[in-house]
Every structure is written in C-alpha cells, then in structure tokens.
Chain A
C-alpha cells in the first residue's frame, strides 16, 4: 500500500491539473457567440466570373450529385466540393458543421437541425433572393411553405424563406398488379371503401394485404395517409406548423387511427409489422409478399427495377374518391449566413427551379419541382407523376407529421406500435402526440 501511495502522487497532481484544464476548456461552450445576422445587405442575380469554390453538405444522393454537376456545367468557373454524411448521422453533423467557424456554404435542409440553426442566425434569410429571382412563380408554394419559418423557428409554414426544394417526394400506395388480379380486383381502388374491399379480397386469398415496417416510419405513414384524405387539410397544416391552439385530437385523426386498428384486427397488416424495418417491408413487397405497400415515391426506383410492370401506384383514396392531398417532403438546400459567396449559392438554388434541373430530378427517380418535366414517363413513374401533378396543382402537398416537433418521431413510431399491438387506444395515441406538441409549441 505505501508503494502505491508514493506512486500515486504525481499521477494525482497530473490528473487534477488536467481536470482543471478540461473544466476551463469545456466552459468555452458557455461563451459562444450571440445571434448572427442572417439577412444579406445586397443581393445580386448576376454571379461573378472569377473562380469560386463552394462547399455543400448533404445526405441524399440522388439527386444532389447530378444537380450539382448540372449547375457547374452551366457555370464552369464554380467548383462545388461535396461533403456527404449518412442520413442517420446527418442531423448531428450538419448542426455541428453549420455552427462551426468554417461552415459549408450550402447544406441540405433538415427540420431538426434548422430548429437550432435558424434562431442562432446561421442560415441565410432568402427573402431578398426570392424576390430578385421571382421564386414564387418557379417553385410550388406547397413545397416551399414547409421551408418558411419565423426567426425563432417556432412556427413554420409562413415567415421568411430559409431553403429551396431541389426535388420532391409524395406518400401513396404501391400495389402488386399480379396479386390484385388473382384476388379479382380489376382496377386500383378509387374510394377508401373500395380499397378496404380490395384488402378483404386479398386477405381471403391468403395473401398479406398490407406489408408494413412499423419498426420505423411505415406504421405511422398508414395513419398519416388516411388522415390526409379524411381530415381537414388546414387543421393538419396548422398543427404541423405549430400554429397557436392547433390540435391533433380531432375526430378525423381518431377515425384514421381506428381504421388502422381495424385493419390490424382484420389481419390486413403483416403480422410482424412491429418488428419489421421499412427496407425489409419494401423488399418483402418487391418479392410478392404483400399486395400493398404504403410509402413514399423514394421507393419507386428500386421497386420498378425489381418488379418491372408488376408494380403500380395510386394516391390514398378518400371516402368519396380521390382527394388531392398527400404528405410529402423535399430534398431542399439552405445557405449559410456565414458564406462568402451567398449570391453564387443562391444561383444554385435558382438553378433547382430550371427546366433542365427538373429533368435531372425526374431522371433520378424523384418528383421534379415542376411536374411537367416528368410528363411522358411510363410505368410506375408515370402513375406517381400523374397523382403528384394533381396534388401540386391543387396545392395539396402537406408535410409529414414528424415535422411538428423534433421529438415527434419518437412519439409517432411507438404510438402506432401500441395501436398495432393492441395495447394503446386511439385516444391515448393522439394524447401523447398532443402532449409532445404542447411541450414544444404550447
């Protein structure tokens, strides 16, 4: 013991000294800067001819790489260095990168990260550029609304523009044409009643009607799709955007949850849905394991590749027929308020609305910002575009419910798992969502 003690001494002093250093060092966090100015003094739509290098942080590819290539072909003096991060790490890394001393000029938009970055003044307010370029006419407003917020990032859907969409996604129903034909379903259902009828017929054939990945987002997207076509569009928007007094505890939301529970009880959902990931559900659907898959058009390209002509797509039908309302989101891009070349970055955003960019977006399997660019596509892509064009035309693109608060996803997924497992009631499910909402917006 005495030996140990003698040897202890220098180590102890070293450790104590280091601990003091560490403490003073980590206190640096307490003295970070005050809010940055995010409104540019001057705005120009003409960009420099000098060589410029921009850095762009992103996670979704396609379409990012192809869009950047298109832009730099048009402006050969601009070089864009791409910094890609896996989606699961993107929220963390983009927050750190954009708040660092040397942030990327452009970053792919992410609601979770923007909740912190916009109030800190780190994201460029694009109102002046939007006016100079006339973006209001170039981009559908139902696609840009989710990218608008007030200075505190508390209320979305209105306020200043902080990002511009580079391609869009939309939630709908994929179906297996062979399975439907075998079950005697002649054509894709046009009403919710016809859809449930088709589910029953497929079920009677011994095939799983709806493949689902309730382990992740697949579960609540069924509820989401049902609510889109039965509930009030504006009520839902208000809730996601954080309008004062908004609530999700509505009759339509409860009815949509009840419909989902009824499907579970009738055996329409794959039995192990709660333990199935979205990608596994998609693979199972592609292999003919289920008749329907309710998900977004991001699944279109791989499904078309696997299933060819066997896969079709329709928007979730409403009780009375087609309702041109569907949840969707965009791969959008924001500009750092600390960028040395905000006008060049804005020129890239403007390029996203060009006919050439729309063609690139359509080719990479996304919905283009301008639906006309995808016209003439065949197969499932053509069917998605037909439905999507109507949604855009009627301004019916609404955000996903997890956009409501940063923690909403952690309520939606377990909540729907509870519905699927039969341990949560519809009222309890909606109450937990509303409690989470009140914690953030209340």
Chain B
C-alpha cells in the first residue's frame, strides 16, 4: 500500500539520465513502457486502487450506502478493543506452524526422496504431491469437512487400526478444530514447497554431488551439505508465500468451520469479512484489513531478513 508513495517520492531524485538514454535507446525505452501499460493498468485497477480505497475506508464511518463521515482513528481504536481479535491473531500465528513450518520440512523431505537422481515414478509422485495446490480451496474445504466428520474417512481409518477412542468430530471439537484445519493447510502447502525445492535442487551442479560422494558422503550427508544450502532462496520464497497464506487465510476457514466452534478457528480475514458484509461496518473492516496488512508485512520482512544471503 505504501509503494506508490515511496516510489513517487523517489522519482525526482532518480532523474539522472545516462548518456544512452538520450539516443535512440531512450525512445526504445519509452516504447517498452508502452508495452507495459496494459499490465500496469490492470495492476493499478485491481491491486493499487482497492488497496488505497481500503486505507481510505479505514478512516471513515460508513455503512456502504449512506454518505460516509470522517472518523479519524476511531475505527482503529474500536478494532483494537474487539475482544475476539486477540484470539483471531493468535490463531493465525498458530496456523503459521501448519502452513509454513511443517510444509517446508515436509517439502525438504520429499525433495530429498525424489531429487536424488532419476528414479522411476518421480514424475508421478511430483504430480500427486502438487495436486492439492491445483484444486480450488472451496472444494478442498468441503471435502475435508466431510472427511473430518463424525463418520468420515479420518475416523473410519482410526477405527480400522483400533484407535476408536481417538475418534471425534474433529472440526467440531474445541481443542482440535484449529489443528485439524492447520493439517489441511499442511497438506495443501507441502506440494508447493516441494515444487519450489525440486527446481532449486536441480540447479545444483552435479559435479558438487560427485565430489562429495568421492569424499565419502552418503545421500543424507550430501543432502544436508550440498542441496540444503543451495535451497536458501527457495526456502525464503516458500516461507513468504505460505506465511501470507496463513495470516491472510480466509476461504478455507470460511467453508469448513466459519470460525467455529465458538471462535476456536476465528482468523483476522474472517473478522474483516463479517465486519464488512454482515455488519455493514466498512470503516472497521478497512481498519482491521490495514492492521492485517501491517502484520503480514512485518512477518514477510522478518523472513526476508533472516534468509538474506550475505553478498
């Protein structure tokens, strides 16, 4: 959201033009920007404009129909006082474990298993692990709701191996609903992490692996010492994408538990939706969306900082 302002401020200072700019190259550059125009227009209309509008709404008292009034920081004060907000943010942080930490670990494991040379069936497993990423979340959510139900597949499987005492309506259980929801996230995100890591692992010069092998390193040692360090960039990207998915999660929660039971799976995105569309409180919804954005930026910034390569 801050981007246009930042770049706008930078513009006057960035006016130094290299000699090549004044020649035909400059004109070519101008034409180049012309080609960018459709993409820029779409980006402005569907990303920048809604973001700026949201920021504006955050300072209004508005129900979506009647003339809005200026509210200053009132909406932020009200949102901060919202009793369910604390729990929702906490839930979103718990989801990071399931959406980010576990998928990265599982993705690394799958990469270790699949990337070690050409094996039969690699392509098959790659497709199978990546499939959840392709399915619409609404479909995924509905399917998992049935699988988690009282006599759904999860409980049937537990019953088959004699663990009947563990069976429960997973999404209806106060203590397990969030973890059950998180497990769906792990299932979805692991394939994405694997795909990113596989492409990174393939970039590694085979000579490095050979050299390590000659030095007596086994497959595990080679993965830890050769492949893993090469995946730093991919892990950073995977971390960013999945953390955003965790903090801004909405659709999966909306179709499976809608925040229930009794708020055990409330997430900030759900509260934004309720404020805006159920209660018609556009101002408070905007304020909460801004807070959520700041939270995402802080986390993403932290991950980028941690994964920065010293170059």
Contact = CB atoms under 8 A, between A and B. Distances in A.
A6 B21 contact: yes
Interface centre among B21, B149, B258, B279 (most CB of A within 10 A): B279
B172 A272 contact: yes
- Which of under 10, 10 to 19, 20 to 34, or 35 or more describes the interface residues of B? 35 or more
A301 B279 CA distance: 32
Interface of A is mostly: helix
A120 B8 CA distance: 38
Contacts of A14: 33, 40
Contact of B67 (A34, A274, A420): A34
Interface in A140-195: none
A16 B4 contact: yes
Interface stretch (A69-77, A239-247, A310-318, A411-419): A411-419
Contacts of A277: 145
Nearest to A289: B151
A363 interface: no
Contacts of B66: 32, 116, 119-120
A100 B265 CA distance: 36
A92 B277 contact: yes
Interface stretch (A22-30, A56-64, A392-400): A22-30
B174 A423 contact: yes
Nearest to A274: B172
Contact of B52 (A13, A19, A34, A271): A19
Given A23-B52, A414-B262, A8 B68 contact: no
Given A275-B145, A418-B262, A423-B174, A16 B11 contact: yes
A141 B110 CA distance: 67
Interface stretch (A45-53, A353-361, A402-410): A402-410
Interface string B35-61: 010001000100011001100100010
B48 A120 contact: no
Contacts of B3: 15
A215 B260 contact: yes
A18 B169 contact: no
Interface residues of A, number: 65
B124 to A, nearest CB: 34
A19 B48 contact: yes
Contacts of B132: none
A421 interface: yes
B191 to A, nearest CB: 25
A2 interface: yes
B148 A275 contact: yes
A8 B29 CA distance: 11
Contacts of B52: 19, 22-23, 26
B200 interface: no
A26 B56 contact: yes
B278 A10 contact: no
B3 to A, nearest CB: 7
Contacts of B60: 29-30
Interface in B146-169: 148-150, 168-169
Contacts of A409: 278
A12 B56 contact: no
B261 A22 contact: no
A5 B14 contact: yes
A9 B15 contact: yes
Contact of B257 (A91, A275, A410): A275
Nearest to A419: B262
B137 to A, nearest CB: 15
B48 A276 contact: no
B274 interface: yes
A272 B169 contact: yes
Nearest to A29: B68
A266 B174 CA distance: 19
B283 to A, nearest CB: 12
A12 B150 contact: no
Given A8-B7, A14-B33, A115-B280, A420 B261 contact: yes
A10 B149 contact: no
A417 B260 contact: yes
A150 to B, nearest CB: 15
Given A15-B7, A19-B5, 6 more contacts: A10-B30, A12-B7, A19-B52, A214-B260, A415-B262, A421-B174
Report, nearest first, the 5 A-B pairs whose CB atoms are least far apart.
Answer: A272-B169, A16-B8, A275-B172, A274-B172, A19-B4
17 contacts: A2-B18, A8-B10, A15-B48, A91-B278, A95-B64, A98-B65, A120-B65, A214-B261, A272-B168, A272-B172, A274-B260, A275-B170, A280-B149, A407-B274, A410-B274, A418-B262, A424-B262
Interface of A: 2, 5-16, 18-19, 22-23, 25-27, 29-34, 91-92, 95-96, 98-99, 112, 115-117, 119-120, 122, 214-216, 270-277, 280, 405-407, 409-410, 413-415, 417-418, 420-421, 423-424
Interface of B: 3-5, 7-8, 10-11, 14-18, 21, 29-30, 33, 36, 40, 44, 48-49, 52-53, 56, 60, 62-68, 145, 148-150, 168-174, 177, 257-263, 274, 277-280
